[in-house]
Structure 1
Amino acid sequence: MGQIVTEISQLRIALFSGNYNYVRDGANQALNRLVDYLLRQGAQVRVYAPVVENPAFEATGTLIGIPSMAIPRRKEYRFPLGLSNAARRDLEAFAPNVLHVSSPDVTAHRAVGWARQRGIPILASVHTRFETYMRYYGLGFTEPLLEAIMRRFYRRCDAVVAPSESMAQVLREQRMGFDISIWSRGVDRDIFQPAKRDSAWRQSFGIADNDVVIGFLGRLVMEKGLDVFSDTMDELRRANVPHKILIVGDGPARGWLENRLPGTAFAGFQSGADLGRAVASMDVLFNPSVTETFGNVTLEAMACGLPVVAAAATGSESLVADSVSGRLIRPGAIHNFAEALRTYIENPELRRAHGQAGETRSQEFDWDRINHTVAETYLRLVRQKSPNN
Structure 2
Amino acid sequence: MTTLSFHNRHYALVTETWRPQVNGVANTLGRLCDGLLQNNNRIQLVRPAQPGETVGLADNGPLEELLVRGLPIPGYRQLQFGLPAYRRLLAHWRKSRPDTIYLATEGPLGWSALRAARQLSIPVISGFHTNFQQYSEHYRVSLLYRPVVAYLRWFHNQTLLTLTASNTQQRELSRLGINNLMLLGRGVDCERYHPAHRDAELRRRWGAGNTDIVLLHVGRLAAEKNLQLLQRSWQTLRENQPTGVRLHMVVVGDGPLRPSLERDMPEARFTGALGGAELAAAYASADVFIFPSLTETFGNVVTEAMASGLAVNAFDTAAAHQHIRDRYSGCLAPPAHEELFLDNLRWLVSDTEGRRGIRMHARHRACQLGWPSVLQRFEGYLQRSCSPPRPLSEVVPGK
Comparing 79-88 with 276-285, which one deviates more in the overlay? 79-88
Q: Does 1:228 align with 2:197?
A: no
Could you tell me whether the CA contact under 8 Å between 1:187 and 1:366 is conserved in 2?
yes
In 1, distance between residues paired with 2:202 and 2:20? 29
Consecutive unaligned residues of structure 1, counting only runs of 5 or more, are none
Matching residue's letter, 2:197: K
Instruction: Return the match for 1:123 from 110, 122, 125.
Output: 125
The alignment of Structure 1 onto Structure 2 pairs a total of residues equal to 378
Give the aligned partner of residue 140 of structure 1: 142
| 3-state SS, counterpart of residue 170 of structure 1 | helix
Distance 1:187 1:255 in 2: 31
**Distance in structure 2 (CA, Å) of the matches to 1:311 and 1:140:** 23
Aligned partner of residue 10 in structure 1, secondary structure: coil
Contact 1:120 1:385 in 2 (8 A): no
CA shift for structure 1 position 72? 1.7
Q: CA deviation at 1:84?
A: 5.6
In structure 2, what is the equivalent of residue 67 of structure 1?
69
| Distance across 1 between alignment mates of 2:211 and 2:199 | 13
Question: 1:49-74 deviations in whole A, cap 9, x for unaligned?
Answer: 1112248xxx9933211222222222
Supply the AA of the counterpart residue of 2:48: P
Maintained 8 Å contact 1:288/1:331: no
When normalised by structure 1's length, the TM-score is 0.92
**Worse-superposed segment, 313-322 or 345-354:** 313-322
SS of 2:318 mapped into structure 1: coil
Equivalent residue runs for 1:321-360 within 5 Å: 321-360=325-364
1:11-22 equivalences in 2 (<5 Å) = 11-21=9-19
Deviates more, 1:313-322 or 1:358-367: 313-322
Measured after TM superposition, the shift of residue 322 of structure 1 is 1.6
Q: Please report how far the alpha carbon of residue 327 of structure 1 lies from its aligned counterpart in structure 2 after TM superposition.
A: 1.4
What residue is the counterpart of 1:293 in the other structure?
Answer: 297
Pick closer, same or farther for the CA change 1:6–1:371 going to 2, 3 Å. Answer: closer
Given that 2:42 and 2:63 are in contact with CA atoms closer than 8 Å, whether structure 1 keeps it comes out as: no
In structure 1, what is the Cα distance between the partners aligned to 2:162 and 2:379? 13
Root-mean-square deviation (CA), in Å?
A: 2.0
CA distance in 2, matches of 1:282, 1:213: 5
Pairwise mapping of residues 113-192 of structure 1 onto structure 2 (< 5 A)? 113-177=115-179, 179-192=180-193
Amino acid at match of 2:138: Y
Q: CA deviation at 1:355?
A: 1.2
Q: 1:343 and 1:183 mapped to 2: Cα distance?
A: 34
Mapped partners of 1:300, 1:166: distance in 2 = 19
Tell me, in whole angstroms, the C-alpha distance in 1 between the residues paired with 2:318 and 2:187: 17
Percent identity of equivalent pairs: 27
Taking structure 1 as reference, are residues 294 and 122 closer, same or farther at Cα in structure 2, changes over 3 Å only? same
Moved more, 275-284 or 132-141: 132-141
Matched, 1:106 2:108: yes
Q: Are 2:230 and 1:215 equivalent residues in the alignment?
A: no
Residues 352-371 of structure 1 aligned to structure 2 (within 5 Å) = 352-371=356-375
Distance 1:54 1:279, change over 3 A: farther
- Residue number among 32, 44, 59 corresponding to 1:34 in the alignment: 32
Structure 2 equivalent of residue 193 of structure 1: 194
Are the aligned partners of 2:44 and 2:65 in contact in 1 as well (CA < 8 Å)?
yes
Distance (whole Å) between structure 2 residues aligned to residue 250 and residue 63 of structure 1: 27
Looking at structure 1, the residues matched to 81 and 151 of structure 2 have their Cα atoms a distance apart, in angstroms, of: 16
Structure 2 partner of 1:237:
238
Instruction: Give the counterpart letter for 2:81 in structure 1.
Output: F
Give the Cα separation in 2 of the matches to 1:354 and 1:266: 26
Deviation at 1:38, TM superposition (A): 0.6
Matching of residues 310-321 of structure 1 within 5 Å: 310-321=314-325
Once residues 232 and 335 of structure 2 are traced to their aligned partners in structure 1, the CA distance between those partners, rounded to angstroms, is 13
Q: Supply the distance in 1 between the matched residues of 2:360 and 2:250 (Cα, whole angstroms).
A: 21
Query: Which amino acid is 2:305 matched to?
Result: A
Counterpart CA distance in 2 for 1:10 and 1:305 is: 39
| TM-score (norm: length of structure 2) | 0.90
Indicate conservation of the 8 Å contact 1:167/1:315, yes or no: no
Aligned residues of 1:246 and 1:265 also touching (Cα < 8 A): yes
- Corresponding residue SS for 1:373: helix
